[in-house]
Structure 1
Amino acid sequence: MNKLERDILDVLTADCRCPAEKVAVMVGEEKEKVENAIRAMERRGTIVKYAALVNLDEEEDECVEALIEVKVTPQSGSGFDGIAEEIAQHGEVKTLYLMSGAYDFLVIVESKSIKGVSRFISECISTFDCVISTATHFILKKYKIEGAMTKKQPRGRLSIQP
């Protein structure tokens, strides 16, 4: 990845709706060159998706989000990749990471209820022969999402407490 691409990604990461003309001005390049670089990164898979950052706590519809730690025995031949592909197929799974440390996968899921998350774990995750254990953590409140505060911070100086 070259400097232009890194600069473009910095702009798009902060605001994925930023038009190419504005990106070009911000990175000091011609619009056409910026558009070509963006298309190239999309083709290579560097840019995977453009998405809005949504604070579901502010919405009327209830949504339960959970982080599931999954410890597995790697499969012969495909290792962790085969397991990850199977887990990722489920619609409840929003994000899936291979981790280092005490567990192998971190699965981030969304459901309409705690019961839905429980059903996903018992009917999907736990049915894999390779799963050794799971630990589930429910998200209670979000304060910061992808670098953005969920509540507007008051401007001005912070009060000093004695």
Structure 2
Amino acid sequence: MENREELLKLIETDSRLSIAELSRMLDMDQAAVEAEIAALEEENIIVGYHTLVNWDKTDDDHVEAIIEVKVNPQRGKGFDSIAAKIYQFEEVQALYLMSGGYDFNVELKKAPMKEIARFVSNKLSIIEEVQSTTTHVILKKYKDHGTFFVEKGKDKRMAVQE
């Protein structure tokens, strides 16, 4: 399908778009859109649908944390075997192999600070290949997945003149 990437971009921006809306936007038959979405799911290109919540507007007092992890990969195993040890934990929301000063970026599910501390000390840091960790707590979100979490108002960007 030639509109495959356009379909993916639309769904990624707003997964609540109906098949009818997508077919109008892509100028395609509804059955073709449904079939393409089914194929994308089958091929594991579309791997899930999520809702983005602004937790600051609720009474929830849990925090989100990002952990930088430096590891010592074992010969012949590389980073994938270490990643498998880390992403199996239910606390792990996302895991990325990184370039730069550390190897993995671990994003944790929202939890009380004590649970985050327990995860780092009792689960993550005891993995044999883990050399060090640095934990960052997210204090406030301004933008996530292209969505603004702050009230829209006057554009506060500085004007650039040539």
Give the alignment's TM-score, normalised by structure 1: 0.91
* Residue in structure 2 matched with residue 77 of structure 1 by the alignment: 76
Q: How many residues align?
A: 158
Contact in 2 for aligned 1:56/1:63 (Cα 8 Å) = no
Question: What 5-or-longer segments of structure 1 have no aligned partner?
Answer: none
Calculate percent identity across the aligned residue pairs.
Answer: 41
Counterpart in the other structure of 2:89: 90
Root-mean-square deviation (CA, aligned residues, Å) is 1.8
Is 1:69–1:134's contact at 8 Å kept on the other side of the alignment? Answer: yes
- Measure the CA separation in 1 of the matches of 2:12 and 2:152: 21
What one-letter code is carried by the residue in structure 2 that aligns with 1:119? R
Q: CA contact under 8 A between 2:93 and 2:108: conserved in structure 1?
A: yes
Matched residues in 1 for 2:97 and 2:115: separation? 23
**1:146 alignment counterpart:** 145
Residue 13 of structure 2 corresponds to 14
Change (3 A) 1:123 1:157: closer
Secondary structure at 1:124's aligned position in 2? helix
Confirm or deny: 8 A CA contact 1:63 1:110 kept in the other structure: no
CA distance in 2, matches of 1:34, 1:65: 36
Structure 1 residue 157: deviation in Å? 6.7
> Which of structure 1's runs of 4+ aligned residues deviate more than 4 A?
none
**SS of equivalent residue, structure 2 residue 107:** strand
Structure 2: how far apart are the matches of 1:99 and 1:157? 33
Once the 2 structures are TM-superposed, how far is the Cα of residue 111 of structure 1 from its aligned partner?
Answer: 4.0
More divergent stretch after superposition (129-138 vs 55-64)? 55-64
- TM-score for the superposition, normalised by structure 2: 0.91
Aligned-pair CA distance for 1:115: 1.4
Q: What SS does structure 2 have at the residue aligned with 1:3?
A: coil
Residue aligning to 1:101: 100
Partner amino acid for 2:118?
R
Does residue 24 of structure 1 match 2:23?
yes
Structure 1 position 51 matched with structure 2 position 50: yes
Tell me which amino acid in the other structure corresponds to 1:121: V
User: What amino acid does structure 1 have at the position aligned with 2:133?
Assistant: T
2:62·2:113 contact (CA, 8 Å) conserved in 1?
no
Q: Mark the CA change 1:6 to 1:133 in structure 2 (over 3 Å): closer, same or farther.
A: same
What runs of 5+ residues in structure 2 fail to find an aligned partner?
A: none
Cα distance in 1, alignment partners of residues 20 and 35 from structure 2: 12
Q: Which residue of 2 aligns with 1:33?
A: 32
- Using the TM superposition, give the Cα deviation of residue 110 of structure 1 relative to its aligned residue in structure 2, in angstroms: 2.4
* 3-state SS in 2 of match to 1:57: helix
